[in-house]
Structure formats: structure tokens, C-alpha cells
């Protein structure tokens, strides 16, 4: 799982960004996996995530039962604070669902959560950054928003349009973030963090 590794931002901003994925291993534990992943999302909902999703429906925190009912292969959850992450990890550990769980975030922050939940990480992946003709990329402020969709489905022009709407008073930062959220097919977009980033850009 690498599509959540390239999120841009300051340490402060990324400290409010934690992505969970539960996934089956094809040919190993896929039989009966869907009910387990559905339970994973139900457990998450007890701790007020800012987004949940699946590959089929994208992020729809406002329609959680639809996401759960239509889940097929992968479950995604996004939190914006460590206490919720720790509480969720404790409940997932207790549930012992038997499927792989991956947590993305600032390494030290994630490890703090794991330690407080009585867990240790098994494997760690790190992003080495983006290589190539990086001058072709949007500015860092836009990248902070669009890299929250690991499959690059959020248009930089749409982000710019949302910033203009906020400046003009047509949308609040939260409303603008809700426009961007469903563009991310997996549901790993963090609308709470996005609203803060959009608000900051609109003030420039």
C-alpha cells in the first residue's frame, strides 16, 4: 500500500492526517473477508472518522451505511487526531478480524499511537519524494491538497476553483472540501485537513 505515502505538508498539518486501510490477501484470506472489512468500518464509525470509503464508492462519510453495504475489496478510514486513532487501534486489536491493517501518517506519530494501543508496527514504507520534471507540478500549497488522493484524481484546477469560491463567499472551506472529497475514489481524502488548507490559501 503506497498510494497514501506521498502526502505533502508541514509536520503540523500532517499530524492531523491518519489513513487506515484493511485489505484482503488474494488467494490467502479472501474468503469471508468482506464481513470483516464491514465490521472494521463499523468499529471506525464509533470514533468519528473524517472519511471512510471503498474503491467502489469513494469517500462518503455522509453515507456510511451505503459504503459498508457496497464494500467489495478494501476498506479505508481517515482520522484527524491521535486520540481517535489510539481508541480505534485498541478496538481493532480487540476485534482480531484477521486481515492486514495499514496505517499511514508521520512515522513518529503513528508509532506513538501504536505504542499507546499496545501494538508495534510490522513493516514500514517511506516515500522518497517525487522525481523527474517537478517544475511541471502545481505549487506546494495545491499539492498539499491533491496528494491526499493517492491516485491523482483531484484536479488542481478544481482546487483553484474552490479557493476562488471561498474568496468570493460562495462556499465555506468545509463546503469546498466536500466538493473535493468524492473525487478521491478510494476514500482516503481528509476533508478536515483540506478545509484548513483551503482556508489558508484563500487568505493569500
Mean pLDDT value across the chain: 93
pLDDT score of 171 more than 70: yes
Confidence band of 22 (pLDDT split at 50, 70, 90): very high
- Identify the weakest region by mean pLDDT among 37-41, 72-76, 158-162, 164-168: 72-76
Q: Between these two residues, 55 and 115, which has the higher pLDDT value?
A: 115
Q: At what angle do helices 191-202 and 156-168 cross, to 10 degrees?
A: 60
The confidence score (pLDDT) of residue 1 equals: 54
User: Dihedral angle at the C-alpha atoms of 123, 78, 14, 189, nearest 10 degrees?
Assistant: 110
- List where CATH 3.30.70 sits in the chain: 11-116
Please compute the mean of the pLDDT values over residues 65-89 and round it to a whole number: 94
Confidence band of 42 (pLDDT split at 50, 70, 90): very high
Nearest-angstrom CA–CA distance, 145 and 148: 6
pLDDT score of 2 more than 80: no
Please compute the mean of the pLDDT values over residues 116-127 and round it to a whole number: 91
Q: What SS3 state is found at 5?
A: coil
Query: What Cα–Cα distance (Å) separates residue 111 from each residue in 88, 118, 158?
Result: 14, 10, 34
Confidence band of 129 (pLDDT split at 50, 70, 90): confident
| CATH fold of the domain at 11-116 | Alpha-Beta Plaits (3.30.70)
Short-list 131, 127, 155, CA closest to 142: 155
Going by the DSSP 8-state scheme, the letter that residue 22 receives in this structure is: E
- Identify the weakest region by mean pLDDT among 11-15, 120-124, 188-192: 120-124
Contacts of 81 (CB under 8 A, 6+ apart): 16
Please compute the mean of the pLDDT values over residues 164-173 and round it to a whole number: 98
| Reported pTM | 0.93
Please compute the mean of the pLDDT values over residues 48-77 and round it to a whole number: 87
Contacts of 60 (CB under 8 A, 6+ apart): 52, 53, 66, 67, 182, 187
- Identify the weakest region by mean pLDDT among 70-74, 91-95, 109-113: 70-74
Confidence band of 68 (pLDDT split at 50, 70, 90): very high
The confidence score (pLDDT) of residue 127 equals: 86
pLDDT score of 110 more than 60: yes
pLDDT score of 53 more than 80: yes
Amino acid at each position: 500500500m503506497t498510494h497514501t505515502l506521498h502526502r505533502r505538508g508541514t509536520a503540523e498539518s500532517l499530524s492531523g492526517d491518519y489513513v487506515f486501510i484493511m485489505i484482503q490477501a488474494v488467494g490467502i484470506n479472501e474468503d469471508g473477508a468482506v464481513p470483516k472489512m464491514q465490521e472494521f468500518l463499523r468499529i471506525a464509525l464509533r470514533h468519528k472518522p473524517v472519511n471512510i470509503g471503498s474503491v467502489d464508492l469513494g469517500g462518503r462519510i455522509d453515507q456510511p451505511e451505503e459504503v459498508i453495504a457496497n464494500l467489495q475489496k478494501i476498506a479505508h478510514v481517515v482520522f484527524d487526531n491521535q486520540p481517535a486513532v489510539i481508541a480505534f487501534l485498541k478496538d481493532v486489536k480487540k476485534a482480531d478480524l484477521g486481515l492486514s491493517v495499514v496505517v499511514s501518517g508521520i512515522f513518529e506519530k503513528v508509532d506513538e499511537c501504536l505504542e499507546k494501543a499496545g501494538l508495534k508496527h510490522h513493516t514500514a514504507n517511506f516515500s522518497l519524494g517525487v522525481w523527474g520534471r517537478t517544475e511541471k507540478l502545481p505549487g506546494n500549497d495545491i499539492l498539499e491538497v491533491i496528494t491526499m488522493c493517492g491516485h491523482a484524481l483531484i484536479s488542481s484546477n478544481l482546487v483553484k476553483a474552490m479557493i476562488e469560491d471561498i474568496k468570493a463567499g460562495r462556499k465555506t472551506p468545509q463546503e469546498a472540501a466536500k466538493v473535493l472529497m468524492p473525487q478521491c475514489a478510494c476514500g482516503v481524502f481528509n476533508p478536515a485537513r483540506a478545509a484548513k488548507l483551503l482556508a489558508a490559501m484563500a487568505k493569500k
